[in-house]
Amino acid sequence: MDAPQLAGKIVLVSGGTQGLGEAVARRAALQGAEGIVVTGRNAAEGERVRTELESAGARALYLKTDLADVDQARASVKDTISEFGRLDAVANCAGLTTRGTFLNTEQELFDAHIAINLRAPFFIMAETIRHLVSRGAPGSILNVISIAEHGGQDFLAPYVAAKAGLAGATRNAAHAHRWDRIRINGLDIGWTATAGEAATQKAFHGAGDDWLEKASASVPMGKLGQPDEIAEFIVFLLSDRSGVVTGSVIDWDQQVIGGQE
């Protein structure tokens, strides 16, 4: 039997207290991570996830973190290293999905998207890379981006701007640090079935409690992206099992970019 994919690794999951981030943290525990740190703003949810990760056999830590504050974003890396002595892998899963077009987006909304969807993962990457280089150790980073970074819907203008920037930063960092044996990849996820997406659909699109059923019927595979399935792929990309892959931004969706009806 193959060894667990993250056996002995220390893993940081930003946005790990809910949705996709929580699924990634759970998958990391299942795949043998020695230590897992989850960040988020909701302390009750953070402690719930931490307890459940420890019940699954991993040492776990919750860090209350507001990623809109760049100092807190950077501190999440430093505090992980302080707690566990090192950091081997990072999954940047936190994201902001509030809506805005070019006609109604004010600076405050634009700045919020840049802060959460670009600046925070940028500086988490930077702190992680600095740590790995100082150790002379290999490592891996996975940035959850979005299929929308290719262009997206009109109501996602500030979101697309930030996520497209993250895609570029992912490739740049991967190129800059390939000789340090730090692998950095991105995943362009599409429409995903999470509690956060349910809240977004109801808040911005007038969706009812049957939104998921209707959404699932509207897409080719008959279902939205599933957090557990995406998390399995993220953990694979973080692990040594994914080999030399770096600088890849992979579309995880059922729409084909460039295809036309």
**Residues 90, 206: one domain?**
no
Q: Are 58 and 141 within one domain?
A: yes
- Are residue 155 and residue 218 in the same domain, yes or no? no
Let me know the angle formed at the C-alpha of 154 by 149 and 223, rounded to the nearest 5 degrees.
65
Instruction: List the pLDDT tens digit at each of the 261 positions of the chain.
Output: 688 999 999 999 999 999 999 999 999 999 999 999 999 999 999 999 999 999 999 999 999 999 999 999 999 999 999 999 999 999 999 999 999 999 999 999 999 999 999 999 999 999 999 999 999 999 999 999 999 999 999 999 999 999 999 999 999 999 999 999 999 999 999 988 788 888 888 988 988 999 899 989 999 999 998 999 999 999 999 999 999 999 999 999 999 999 988
Residue 12 corresponds to which tokens in the numbers above?
């940081």
pLDDT at residue 1, as a whole number: 64
Helix, strand counts (H, E) of the chain: 9, 7
Whether 2 maps to a domain, the answer reads no
- What per-residue confidence (pLDDT) applies to 196? 85
Q: Does residue 151 lie within any of the structural domains?
A: yes
Which CATH number is 84's domain given?
3.40.50.720
How many whole angstroms separate alpha carbon 65 and alpha carbon 62?
A: 9
**Inter-CA distances, 214 with 208, 209, 249, 253, Å:** 10, 10, 29, 18
Question: Residues 202, 76: one domain?
Answer: no
This prediction's pTM = 0.95
Q: Which residues are catalytic?
A: 159
19-30 helix and 43-55 helix, angle to the nearest 10 degrees: 20
* Residue 163 shares a structural domain with residue 220: no
**Distant-in-sequence, close-in-space partners of 138: CB < 8 Å, separation ≥ 6:** 132, 180, 181, 182, 183
Is the same domain home to 175 and 88?
yes
> Within this chain, do residues 23 and 143 fall inside the same structural domain, yes or no?
yes
- Closest C-alpha among 106, 122, 193, 192 to residue 162: 122
Domain shared by 92 and 109, yes or no: yes
Pick the closest to residue 40 from 10, 61, 67, 59 (CA basis).
67
Residue 259 lies in a domain: no
Query: Does residue 118 sit in the same domain as residue 163?
Result: yes
The reply to whether 1 falls in a domain is no
Range of the structural domain that residue 245 is part of: 10-190+226-252
Q: In this structure, is residue 183 part of a structural domain? A: yes
Same domain, 143 and 213: no
Residues 121, 35, single domain; the answer is yes
| Number of domains comprising the chain | 2
Q: Is 61 contained in some domain? A: yes
Same domain, 216 and 141: no
What does the pLDDT read at residue 260?
Answer: 85
3: in domain:
no
Residue 257 included in any domain: no
